Structure 1
Amino acid sequence: MSVHKLEISEQPRASGTPETLGFRPLYRQVKAIFVRRLVDGVWAPGAALPSEGQLAAEIGVSQGTVRKALDELAAENLVVRRQGRGTFVAEHDERRILFQFFKLAPDEGSPRFPDSVVLSVTTGLAREAERAALDLAEGAAVTRIRRLRSFDGAPLIIETLSLPQQLFPGLEDGPIPNNLYSLFAGRYGITIANARERLKAVALADVDAAALGVSPGEPALQIDRVALSLDGTPVEHRLSLCLTQEVHYLSDLR
């Protein structure tokens, strides 16, 4: 593993010294090194990180700088602090997905992860909307997954996921698990770091209403999501149509 050393001193600048254009705080530079290790797979999901002291000595910064960088990664759910055990690379287990990426919660009862049934898996040329969402060139291919998601056997969501085929070769040939983000990380080394969502009220088209077992024109919540990998690359476009008679969208603003 290559050793990164930072050349910017941790000493404070003299009063009146102009800040260098593009200057980033030292802990942010250290954070960028750590993120690159996650992207490159040097630190795999579930792996224990070296101690703060070891990392500080390796990079050539103070332990406090390393701690501040790791604190930011923990706040972004990329690493997990475990009391008395150390810091670990976060995994896309169901609990993390439930609270970070799945925002629908029952009106009554505790939040839970829905069951999924895959209806179809196809490949083809990316459509205009898919190219725009995933930043793909014309002629690029995508894999599309259409699935039905339910609570206690009651249909809740019909959704279509579009994935760049170049990033996920062979995905269409194997079983599609409920926890896709764990599959992305484990098989393809792609960790979903964050996502952008747009919400809109719509009337269900015939085919979507039939899948959900309701009448055409039934109101639904449309969630248009683009998921990004650790380096900011868009890797998934997901269009979800959700019945909200017994659930709500929960966003914890901080």
Structure 2
Amino acid sequence: MSSPDENGWVRTAREGAVLTVTLDRADQLNAQTPATWAALRAVGEGLDDGVRVVVVRGAGRAFSAGLDRTLFSPDPGVSGGLADLGSMPADQAQERIRGYQAAFRWLRSPGVVSVAAVQGHAIGAGAQLALACDLRVFTEDAQLRLPEATLGLVPDLTGTSTLVELVGYSRAVEICLTGRAVGATEAVATGLANVAVPLDQLDATVADLTAALLGPDADASRETLALLRSAVRNDPAQQDAAERAAQVRRLGALARRD
């Protein structure tokens, strides 16, 4: 049996088409390490076509408080630490970070809808993990923060693109450069969260949302999700063409089914 640090404090549970991924380090507020990212990346690489919804959670009272404090050590001998990355040749450091980003980016894999169930703090890497998902359910006490710039760093775990998609450029600038906390009420109002609920309703709300997401035809859901994701980068003509092509595929599939 592997130890918690060997599996990155990440556990998974599969029920039908729903995969639940839990950060399981409650005593450290689910602080993340390179082992966490390796484990998350492995989950993504192991996805099969039967998974339609991925729910990401944090055990205990926080979703994730961000990086493990040991990663801030000034000792370049701390593997995966910031000093370790800073002492590497630039191309090698960027390749290392590319691997870390893969732990987050798979949450928008084709055909999979990802849902973050966020309670308590979602800070730094924790905020970016929540942002990597398609949908976010917050508890009323949840707070999201991206303090990297205030620490002399930048958000580098796929957070900038998704934040701008959700709240727009100017608000993303303000959130990132001040590093302030975004509470649940504001998160819902600005599109960072889909809904905010009392803590004791989080599980039921996520379960209801998951059931609703599984309602549509799987292939129609996959095509619609692809269209919505491409809409943020396509110009209108490209998006119109993508819609036409997707609809023709769906009509053809329905005709063959009948």
Normalising by the residue count of structure 1, what TM-score does the alignment of the two structures yield? 0.25
* Higher normalized helix content (fraction of residues): 2
Structure with the greater alpha carbon radius of gyration: 1
